[in-house]
Structure 1
């Protein structure tokens, strides 16, 4: 690694700055996957907070598909 690590902080500059097309492609793939997951988590958190605005059927669906404890564990 070219840069000095301070405070045991993981520095990934050498990966991010790689000119290898496989690295660039994989970074983009993973970032897209993670953004999709983050967006879903954010929407579910909003639904959990304002579930009282949902119909009773949607409240049941929300509770079944996204238990509050499961959401907290994935955050």
Structure 2
């Protein structure tokens, strides 16, 4: 079902997602997989930041060095 909302200035990607072109479908799934990997890593780091007191001092230092809180907030 196609929606049209020209007056709402909303980007609708139905024409891409509903494409029958195998190259389009392959690329969409590839990008979704890549983005999900990034999202899972971001989520794990956010959990580690919240509960860093449960980590060993060495892991707390590694967390602070590799994933500063300000950098994580900017990537969210």
Give the TM interval when normalised to the shorter protein.
Answer: over 0.9
Q: CA deviation at 1:4?
A: 1.6
SS at match of 1:28: helix
CA distance in 2, matches of 1:67, 1:23: 37
CA distance in 2, matches of 1:73, 1:67: 10
Runs of 5+ consecutive residues of structure 2 not aligned to the other structure: none
CA RMSD of aligned residues (A): 1.1
Runs (4+) of structure 1 moved beyond 4 Å? none
In the alignment, what sits opposite 1:68?
69
TM-score by length of 2: 0.93
